[in-house]
Structures are given as C-alpha cells and as structure tokens.
Amino acid sequence: MSNLEVERVTVRPMDEYNQTLVSHVHPQDWVNPEPAKIYDLVVIGAGTAGLVVAAGAAGLGLGLKVALIEKHLMGGDCLNVGCVPSKTIIRSARVIGEIWDGKELGINIPKNIDVDFSAVMARMRRIRAGISPHDSAARFQKLGVDVFLGSGRFSSKNTVEVDGKILRFKKAVIATGARAAKPEISGIEKAGYLTNESVFSLIQKPEKLAVIGGGPIGCELAQAFRRLGCEVVLFHRSSHILNKEDAEAAEILQKVLIKEGIRLVLNAKLEEVVTVTEGKRLYFSTNGHRDSVTVDEILVGAGRAPNVEGLNLEAVNVEYDQRHGVKVNDYLQTTNPKIYAAGDICMNWKFTHAADAAARIVIKNTLFSPFGLGRSKLSNLIMPWVTYTDPEIAHVGISLEEAKSKGIDIETIKIPFSIVDRAIADGEESGFLKILHRKGSDEILGATIVARHAGEMISEVTTAMVGKLGLNKLSGVIHPYPTQAEAIKKAADAYRRTLLTENTKRLLGFLTKLS
C-alpha cells in the first residue's frame, strides 16, 4: 500500500534526538490502514484535543471505531513546539535565577556563570524525544485507533478524504489547533523571524534577541533567554506586560524582568525590519519617539491563527472565520450537528489542559448523549492557567474587572508572601495570594497567585471551587508548616475573622462563662 500524502518530515537539527522524535510522531515508514466500513468518530488533528478524544473513545472497550488524522507531528504544539520544550528550557533558566539569588542567601557566586547554550537545547531535545512515545502513532495504533498520516479534508457530508482514502463517519471532530500568526511589520518576512514553532531549533545562542509580545509566551521566553545569556529587548503594544492578568501581578513580574536586564519597550509600535551588516534592525516608535534596535534574531510571541485552511469546511456547512476559527456552541458542536470541535481551533482558552478538558466534553457529547440528553457544557469548566515566568503567575476564576462587568458584588482577600514564614525563609516575599469571594458569602469566585511555584498552588483553590468548598472549609484544612501554600489557609482564616461581629463576640463570651 502506498501513502500518497505522507511526506518526509524533518525537525531541525536532525540529530539523534529529533530523529527519535520524528520516528514516533511521524514515522517515515508508516503505512496508513485500510479504512473501516464506517467510523464512530473521525478526528482531524493529533494535538492534545485530538489525542484525548481518540484515546478516550477507543480506550473504553466498547468496540468503537475511531480514526485519527495528522498531517504533521502527532502531539501537536504541546509536545513539539509548546509546553514540553519551553518548560524544559525554562527549567535550565531557573537555575540561573536561583544562582543570581544566591548572594542574598549567603552564597558567594562567581561573576561569570558559564551557560552552555547548545547543551541546554540538546537536553530539551532529549527530553522531548523521551516523552514522545506517549503521543506516538504506534501507541495509538495499539490502543485500537486507525492512524492516518496525511492531510484530511471533508469530501462530503459524512466523509473525510486522506491519502487518497475515504473515511465515512457517524460523527467527526475538528482538532487542528492554531499556529503563530504572521506579524504585520514591513520587511520582517524578508529579514526572517522566529516563532514558538522554530525557536526550539536553535543550537547557537543569539547574542541579541528581540521578543515581540508581552503576553505569556513572550514573557516566558524573554526571561528564559535573558537568563541563558542573551541581551533581550521585549516589545509590547500596551502600557504594561500581561495586560490580561491582574495588574498587581503583572507589575511584580515587570519589575523582575527589568531587574534582570531585559529592556522593555512599552506602548510600542513596530514599523519596519531591515537587514543590515550587523544583523536585523527593527525600527519602532513609542510615545511619539522613533528609535531602532539591531539584533541577531527576532522572536514573535504574539497572536495565534486557527488552522482552518484546507479542511473544505464549506462542503459540510461548518461556519468559521480566519481569526476565531471554527464556530461552536456551548456543547462544542459546530453548525453541522454531526461535527464537533475542540482545542485551539475553536476556543479562547489556548492551553493544553483546556484542550484536554474540552476533549472529554466532546467524547461525552458525541457518544453518550442520545437526543442531546445529559450533554456537558464548556461554560461549566473552571479553568486555571499559569504564566511560567519566575515568579509564576497563576489564576483561576473571574477577575475583579470581570466581576464588575457582570455586576457581581465581591470582596477581596490579599495575603502578601511577606507574612508567610516559608516565603520569608525562601527569600521569595514579593508575591501574593489574592482571593475573590462573593460579598456576604465564603464562595470563592477567583484567585491569583504570584510565587515561584504558583502553578503548583493554584490547584488547591481550583479544587475548592469545583467542589464548592468555601473559605470556611479551607480554614479547617491543615496545611503543613512551613509551606508557601499556607497563604491559602491564611486567606481562609482572614475570612473567618470577618465573621466575628459584635453579636458573635457577645455569644462567644457568654459560652465561655458556661464552659
């Protein structure tokens, strides 16, 4: 059998690690199977959402026929150009941050820290290759999924074509994800630039790096590459970085980035990129002042574009647009009731864990909700997220601005880490925990944590929200001492103290006399 569309895929540099990666997630000798007579589910896209849908449906032991189509690398952004490589590099960079903090902890550190950039990147490739079997074509084949490598497109109301083969389906799922958006800056295409899809192919350190975008991706990579020895200038079009996060949290990180030597250009309007002898010269203006900077590489970390091209969505009456992707309702159903979507292709939450959660909704709604009964809603999810800078910024639930816009009366409890003993001992006092609760109630509506390990701490608050446990319950949870997570108990205790009204105090005083 021949594969008409399975083309050779390379991931630079094609060293032993990337060869291993490709052998798992897009094997060159893969032979697409003969299609089943009809599939219960055909999933287009093998990123997080597609993998979870396919594995979840096939792994139920019900004999469901599931097909999974991927034209590039299985594992999608998360494994190949997102979570796994970025957090691996961030881990190396965090060591440098800890060394920088050493003097305040009584440790004499050398003036020059020798960073082997190529070794950092090689470690990333090794770890990525080591994780890749989990997302491999062979593993999903063993799970009972028919894996097709090639470009899938809808060919009729109930068929998808891939590699010259026709796959008939009862239901289909679009999980093709999103990609880095092309920047609209004159000359940048000619000069060349990096995105999250190419930056992890670097083997030599760029001495000077411009990062465009002060959102999560831009801030994470700007800090990481600065710590690994690059001169970094970070451009952001707003007046402060992470403008979608809590303003106090963003301010803490902004000060850290400046302290670490990152040049921040805020309110930036990027005008033109010109190739010069010294590298790439980027012209910009800010607050009416025009300037330029010359760098070795430009990393674009702003904007995502949904992968809707080539799917022939018109043939199946699936509505979409180039900016927001496939249109879905709260059940993740497209305008074609037999076709669903999940992940970055259709959601504002562009996180791996969000795609995973959405995929579980799709499994339930496509396979186990006859006549639409018992369907799950995307809007019911309580979604945490983390910006993996140092310190990390973690958030769950609504923000103060969202509460105001929705007319929800809230009260805020803020616990600075300067009063948390473990944070003081760790020398990590600049962060805070902020909890928003409904006014007159202990119901938690949202939280923000700024701390070195905020991402590990936010799940306790998320669990409380999902389980409808209020601050009263959290106050009774024993937290090991000393830990930074004790801040959560302090916040809960602070709420309990607000219940000590004068009437309550009189009642307690009366009880003491009877005891």
Domain check: are 346 and 291 in the same one?
Answer: no
423 lies in a domain?
A: yes
Q: Considering 361, 380, 399, which residue would you say is the last residue of a domain? A: 380
386 lies in a domain?
A: no
Domain check: are 330 and 406 in the same one?
Answer: no
Structure tokens at 232: 């970094």
Average model confidence (pLDDT) across the chain = 96
Instruction: Give pLDDT, residue 2.
Output: 43
Instruction: Give pLDDT, residue 347.
Output: 98
Instruction: Give pLDDT, residue 84.
Output: 98
Domain check: are 166 and 235 in the same one?
Answer: no
Q: How confident is residue 4, by pLDDT bands cut at 50, 70 and 90? A: very low
514 lies in a domain?
A: no
Instruction: Give pLDDT, residue 7.
Output: 66
338 lies in a domain?
A: yes
Instruction: Give pLDDT, residue 111.
Output: 85
Condensed to tens digits (0 to 9), the pLDDT of residues 24-35 reads: 999 999 999 999
Condensed to tens digits (0 to 9), the pLDDT of residues 205-218 reads: 999 999 999 999 99
Q: How confident is residue 6, by pLDDT bands cut at 50, 70 and 90? A: low
- Cα-Cα end-to-end distance for the chain: 86
- 1 pLDDT more than 50: no
160 lies in a domain?
A: yes
431 lies in a domain?
A: yes
| Lowest-pLDDT choice from 292-301, 454-463, 477-486, 502-511 | 502-511
Q: How confident is residue 3, by pLDDT bands cut at 50, 70 and 90? A: very low
Domain check: are 169 and 29 in the same one?
Answer: yes
Instruction: Quote the DSSP letter at residue 32.
Output: P
Q: What is the CATH number of the domain that holds 290?
A: 3.50.50.60
Condensed to tens digits (0 to 9), the pLDDT of residues 224-243 reads: 999 999 999 999 999 999 99
107 lies in a domain?
A: no
Q: Considering 350, 380, 410, which residue would you say is the last residue of a domain? A: 380
Q: Considering 249, 284, 302, which residue would you say is the last residue of a domain? A: 302
Backbone φ, ψ for residue 476 (5° rounding): -90, 0
88 lies in a domain?
A: no
Domain check: are 327 and 222 in the same one?
Answer: no
- 151 pLDDT more than 80: yes
Condensed to tens digits (0 to 9), the pLDDT of residues 31-61 reads: 999 999 999 999 999 999 999 999 999 999 9
Domain check: are 252 and 275 in the same one?
Answer: yes
Neighbour-count burial of 498, counting CB atoms closer than 10 A to its CB (0-12 exposed, 13-18 middle, 19+ buried): exposed
Region 341-360: mean pLDDT is 98
Condensed to tens digits (0 to 9), the pLDDT of residues 60-85 reads: 999 999 999 999 999 999 999 999 99
DSSP secondary structure, 219-233, as one string: HHHHHHHHHTT-EEE
The boundaries of the domain holding residue 367 are 16-81+121-180+305-380
Q: What is the CATH number of the domain that holds 424?
A: 3.30.390.30
* Number of domains forming the structure of the chain: 3
Domain check: are 331 and 239 in the same one?
Answer: no
Q: How confident is residue 509, by pLDDT bands cut at 50, 70 and 90? A: confident
Instruction: Give pLDDT, residue 121.
Output: 98
Condensed to tens digits (0 to 9), the pLDDT of residues 374-426 reads: 999 999 999 999 999 999 999 999 999 999 999 999 999 999 999 999 999 99
Domain check: are 160 and 31 in the same one?
Answer: yes
Domain check: are 241 and 129 in the same one?
Answer: no
435 Cβ contact list (under 8 Å, min separation 6): 412, 413, 414, 444, 446, 447, 461, 471, 491
Give the rounded percent of residues in the chain with a pLDDT score beyond 70. 99
Region 168-183: mean pLDDT is 97
Domain check: are 34 and 152 in the same one?
Answer: yes
Domain check: are 298 and 310 in the same one?
Answer: no
Tokens 């009862």 sit on residue: 170
CA distance 29 to 501: 73
Domain check: are 291 and 341 in the same one?
Answer: no
